[in-house]
Amino acid sequence: MHQPPLHQPSPGPGAGQLIWLVAGTGDGPPLAAALLARGWWVRVSVVSPEALRAYAPHPRLQLQAGPLAGEAAGLCG
Protein backbone atom coordinates (compact mmCIF):
# COMPACT_ATOMS: atom_id res chain seq x y z
CA MET A 1 0.00 0.00 0.00
CA HIS A 2 1.33 3.43 -0.94
CA GLN A 3 1.83 5.88 1.93
CA PRO A 4 2.31 9.67 1.51
CA PRO A 5 5.75 11.07 2.40
CA LEU A 6 6.09 12.09 6.04
CA HIS A 7 6.34 15.80 5.23
CA GLN A 8 2.81 15.89 3.80
CA PRO A 9 -0.15 16.48 6.13
CA SER A 10 -2.39 13.50 6.70
CA PRO A 11 -5.90 13.68 5.27
CA GLY A 12 -8.51 14.95 7.66
CA PRO A 13 -10.46 17.99 8.76
CA GLY A 14 -7.41 20.20 9.29
CA ALA A 15 -5.13 18.77 6.61
CA GLY A 16 -2.89 21.49 5.23
CA GLN A 17 -4.41 24.26 7.33
CA LEU A 18 -2.63 26.34 9.96
CA ILE A 19 -4.08 27.20 13.35
CA TRP A 20 -2.45 29.71 15.71
CA LEU A 21 -2.65 28.49 19.30
CA VAL A 22 -2.04 30.97 22.10
CA ALA A 23 -1.81 28.75 25.14
CA GLY A 24 0.03 27.91 28.31
CA THR A 25 1.92 24.82 29.40
CA GLY A 26 -1.10 23.09 30.94
CA ASP A 27 -3.77 23.09 28.26
CA GLY A 28 -1.60 23.88 25.24
CA PRO A 29 0.51 20.71 24.75
CA PRO A 30 -2.41 18.23 24.68
CA LEU A 31 -4.44 20.54 22.45
CA ALA A 32 -1.51 21.01 20.06
CA ALA A 33 -0.92 17.23 19.98
CA ALA A 34 -4.59 16.59 19.17
CA LEU A 35 -4.57 19.14 16.35
CA LEU A 36 -1.33 17.74 14.92
CA ALA A 37 -2.76 14.21 15.04
CA ARG A 38 -5.68 15.45 12.92
CA GLY A 39 -3.38 16.89 10.25
CA TRP A 40 -3.30 20.56 11.23
CA TRP A 41 -0.19 22.72 11.04
CA VAL A 42 0.08 24.44 14.44
CA ARG A 43 1.83 27.66 15.46
CA VAL A 44 2.09 27.99 19.25
CA SER A 45 2.78 31.31 21.00
CA VAL A 46 3.84 31.27 24.64
CA VAL A 47 5.14 33.96 26.98
CA SER A 48 8.60 32.59 27.80
CA PRO A 49 11.22 30.43 26.08
CA GLU A 50 11.06 28.07 29.07
CA ALA A 51 7.40 27.33 28.27
CA LEU A 52 8.42 25.96 24.86
CA ARG A 53 9.90 22.89 26.57
CA ALA A 54 6.37 21.62 27.33
CA TYR A 55 5.76 21.02 23.60
CA ALA A 56 7.07 17.88 21.89
CA PRO A 57 8.87 18.47 18.59
CA HIS A 58 6.80 17.83 15.47
CA PRO A 59 7.43 18.64 11.78
CA ARG A 60 4.17 20.62 11.51
CA LEU A 61 4.67 22.53 14.78
CA GLN A 62 6.04 26.09 14.87
CA LEU A 63 6.95 27.56 18.26
CA GLN A 64 7.45 31.18 19.25
CA ALA A 65 8.00 32.83 22.62
CA GLY A 66 7.58 36.40 23.69
CA PRO A 67 5.01 39.17 23.90
CA LEU A 68 2.40 39.56 21.18
CA ALA A 69 1.90 43.32 21.63
CA GLY A 70 3.61 46.32 23.16
CA GLU A 71 7.09 47.75 22.77
CA ALA A 72 8.83 44.41 23.39
CA ALA A 73 6.97 42.84 20.46
CA GLY A 74 7.43 45.84 18.21
CA LEU A 75 3.65 46.26 17.95
CA CYS A 76 1.40 48.99 19.28
CA GLY A 77 -2.12 48.52 20.53
In a domain, 1, yes or no: no
Position 71 confidence tier, pLDDT thresholds 50, 70, 90: low
Whether residue 49 is contained in a domain is answered as: yes
Q: Which domain holds residue 43?
A: 18-73
Position 60 in a domain: yes
The answer to whether residue 62 sits within a structural domain is: yes
**Domain assignment of residue 5, yes or no:** no
Q: Answer whether residue 8 is part of any domain.
A: no
Q: Distance of CA 56 to CAs 25, 35, 40, 70, 75, Å?
A: 11, 13, 15, 29, 29
Decide if 65 is inside a domain: yes
| pLDDT at residue 57 tops 50 | yes
Q: What is the pLDDT of residue 61?
A: 96
Residue 73 scores a pLDDT above 80: no
Question: What's the structural domain count of the chain?
Answer: 1
Residue 25 within any structural domain of the chain: yes
Over residues 48-68, mean pLDDT = 92
